[in-house]
């Protein structure tokens, strides 16, 4: 398991303007992920871009690498509106994001779908690795829990639907014609919400006509898609106009609405899509995002209690995610420790068998006895260190974890192995061993039992239970560890 830390950066609606969010966004989110992955030290990368936010996250070995990788993303944005997040802040923020607690309209549902789409996009670019996978799946899980276990998304759940709620209060929508300008996220929601009212006809104007037509085909009312140049003519026939584009210039001016009759216009664009001067016409009412505050404020009030429950849920899931990462880091060190011990065990077993084989063929049963003893020794010797490493992870003692990783890294302890098929080498080793090894008083050979005697446990309970002849064959570093224990 690759360890690392997450670093994040966010430019969002809370402080940033629409222009600043756009400046922090990439033309293609896939390109942003690819660029981040190409940055030295970046192992994983993820980005999400909506009309209300532009965020990016990377996984690196060290936090400073992550900060350097994300430095250039918000170069053209005022420093005061850029939120830079460390590992734990990133984890918590993504859970809040998926739950709708970071949304302009508290608890809105769109963001969890956008997050899922962003995850799939990043996965398609090979940006999602073990750490981001765990983090993003946990965030989506929290978002789903928030919506099924609390009332966080009850009532008006987006600016698009809030705009339609306001329009329905100020105009009679039964049999009316409505115009939606813009086929982006908010425009789509507004179109879907209007289709659920009593309107007879819906026109969707967009810079890209096929996109507008696609949305028109999906709503449950007679609808058509047109280009932006046709918006003024459509507005003249509409009782309700909802506009949500990113155009730098107004789409509709005062003259475009002069002869439209009773018309409620709701401008969600930033900057404005509808010239405020249009409100000078007696029959035209123009509302902007600020006018939706009364609706969203009531929604926030109703959801305040639910939000508190979601915050507690996030705290609970946040602790679980941290515990998961700690276990995985400990498991990585434990795995390396067992891999190192397994290499030593296999080497020493081959050496012992080769020495014993030089004095007489070792039977399969005898070989199993030796290997069983070796496995038992490894298990017992590593039991205490395993517990210590898990405790170290639980207590955030990463120095101990890192030291263990260095000591037991698979590249560590590369020692030339004895070839058991090299009889001459095995006999030489056996002759040297004869000066120190003896069994039952026989100074010239090592006696191997045909089977384990009755009453003798194959797994020694302690160092005192290990036979002297076996103890003499144990590697020095193992004896040192045992003497310390």
Catalytic residues: 51
Positive or negative: CA dihedral 457, 461, 464, 468 = positive
Cβ-proximal residues to 302 (8 Å cutoff; 6+ apart), any chain? 151, 154, 155
The token pair at 392 is: 């170290």
Positive or negative: CA dihedral 12, 13, 14, 15 = positive
CB 389 within 8 A of CB 333: yes
Residue among 262, 238, 99 at smallest CA distance from 175: 238
Query: What whole-number distance in Å separates Cα of residue 473 and Cα of residue 437?
Result: 9
- Bridge partners (DSSP) of residue 225 are 204
Residue among 129, 107, 128 at smallest CA distance from 116: 128
Query: What whole-number distance in Å separates Cα of residue 249 and Cα of residue 207?
Result: 13
CB 189 within 8 A of CB 158: yes
- DSSP SS3 for 449: coil
Q: How far apart are the first and last CA of the chain?
A: 29
Q: What angle do CA 15, 188, 97 make, to 5 degrees?
A: 40
Q: Residue 56 belongs to what H/E stretch? A: strand 53-60
Cβ-proximal residues to 468 (8 Å cutoff; 6+ apart), any chain? none
417: left (phi over 0), alpha (psi -120 to 50) or beta: beta
Query: What whole-number distance in Å separates Cα of residue 77 and Cα of residue 81?
Result: 7
The length of the chain, given as a count of residues = 485
221: left (phi over 0), alpha (psi -120 to 50) or beta: beta
- C-alpha radius of gyration, the chain, whole number: 35
DSSP E strand stretches across 160-217: 177-181, 201-206
List strands edge to edge, sheet with 240-243. 222-227, 201-206, 177-181, 240-243, 263-267, 284-287
Q: Residue 82 belongs to what H/E stretch? A: strand 82-85
């Amino acid at each position: 398991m690759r360890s690392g830390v997450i670093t994040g950066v966010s430019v969002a609606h809370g402080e940033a303007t629409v222009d600043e969010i756009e400046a922090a966004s990439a033309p293609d989110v896939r390109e942003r992920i690819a660029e981040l992955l190409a940055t030295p030290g970046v192992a994983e990368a993820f980005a999400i871009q909506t009309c209300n936010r532009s965020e990016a996250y990377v996984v690196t070995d060290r936090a400073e690498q992550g900060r350097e990788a994300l430095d250039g993303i918000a170069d053209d944005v005022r420093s005061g509106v850029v939120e830079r997040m460390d590992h734990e802040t990133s984890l918590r923020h993504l859970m809040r994001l998926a739950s709708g607690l970071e949304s302009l309209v508290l608890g809105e549902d769109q963001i969890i779908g956008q997050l899922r789409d962003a995850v799939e996009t990043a996965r398609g670019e090979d940006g999602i690795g073990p750490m981001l996978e765990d983090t993003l799946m946990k965030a989506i899980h929290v978002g789903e829990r928030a919506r099924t276990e609390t009332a966080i998304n009850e009532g008006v759940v987006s600016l698009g639907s809030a705009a339609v709620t306001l329009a329905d209060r100020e105009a009679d929508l039964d049999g009316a014609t409505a115009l939606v300008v813009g086929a982006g996220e908010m425009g789509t929601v507004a179109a879907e919400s209007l289709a659920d009212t009593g309107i007879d006809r819906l026109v969707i104007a967009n810079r890209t006509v096929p996109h507008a037509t696609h949305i028109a085909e999906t709503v449950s009312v007679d609808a058509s898609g047109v280009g932006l140049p046709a918006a003024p003519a459509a507005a003249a026939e509409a009782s309700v106009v909802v506009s949500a584009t990113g155009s730098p210039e107004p789409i509709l001016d005062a003259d475009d609405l002069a002869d439209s009759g009773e018309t409620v216009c709701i401008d969600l664009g930033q900057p404005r899509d509808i010239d405020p001067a249009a409100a000078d016409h007696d029959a035209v009412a123009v509302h902007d995002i600020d006018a939706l505050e009364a609706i969203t404020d009531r929604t926030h009030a109703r959801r305040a209690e639910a939000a508190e429950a979601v915050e507690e849920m996030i705290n609970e899931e946040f602790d679980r995610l941290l515990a998961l990462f700690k276990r995985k880091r400990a498991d990585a060190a434990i795995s390396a420790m067992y891999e190192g011990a397994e290499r030593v065990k296999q080497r020493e077993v081959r050496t012992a068998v080769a020495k014993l084989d030089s004095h007489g063929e070792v039977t399969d049963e005898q070989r199993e006895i030796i290997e069983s003893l070796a496995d038992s020794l490894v298990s017992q010797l590593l039991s205490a260190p395993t517990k210590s490493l898990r405790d170290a992870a639980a207590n955030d003692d990463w120095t101990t974890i890192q030291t263990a990783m260095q000591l037991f890294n698979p590249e560590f302890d590369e020692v030339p192995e004895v070839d058991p098929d090299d009889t001459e080498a095995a006999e030489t080793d056996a002759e040297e061993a004869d000066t120190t090894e003896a069994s039952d008083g026989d100074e010239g050979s090592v006696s191997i039992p045909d089977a384990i005697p009755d009453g003798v446990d194959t797994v020694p309970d302690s160092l005192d239970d290990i036979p002297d002849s076996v103890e003499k064959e144990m590697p020095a570093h193992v004896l040192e560890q045992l003497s310390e224990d």
